[in-house]
A = this chain, B = another copy of it.
Amino acid sequence: MAEMAHGYVDDKQTLLARLRRAEGQVRGIARMVDEDVYCIDILTQVSAATKALESVALTLLEDHLGHCVAQATAQGGPVAEEKLREANAAIARLVRS
């Protein structure tokens, strides 16, 4: 069953707490738009929510590299290659977004 436990299992509560906060931030941004708050103040909140999502992504990736990818590369072969290809594509998406 080792393959079923994803890398982020130890960070699950931290991730969920950060995501709840990010969800609240996004809802707060909608409220600001609805209440005609000054654009620059809304932009500050958008940057904060973006940074929160970014930190969720980096934690997920870190756990993924340290578990799924590390296990796959230790075994080698086509599965290892596929895991690496997949991780690299995810990193490229993050760097470019």
A70/B73 contact (C-beta < 8 A), A39-B8, A53-B53, A87-B40 known:
yes
Contacts A46-B53, A74-B73, A94-B43 given; does A33 touch B15 at CB 8 Å: yes
Query: How far apart are the CA atoms of A86 and B43 in the complex, in Å?
Result: 11
- Taking a contact as CB atoms under 8 Å apart, the answer to whether B16 and A39 are in contact is no
Distance between Cα atoms of A23 and B19 in the complex (Å): 10
The reply to whether A20 and B15 form a contact with Cβ atoms under 8 Å apart is no
**B92 to A95, Cβ gap below 8 A?**
no
Query: What is A's interface to B at a CB cutoff of 8 Å?
Result: 4-9, 12, 15-16, 19-20, 22-23, 26-27, 29-30, 33-34, 36-40, 42-44, 46-47, 49-51, 53-54, 56-58, 60-66, 68-70, 73-74, 80, 84, 86-88, 90-97
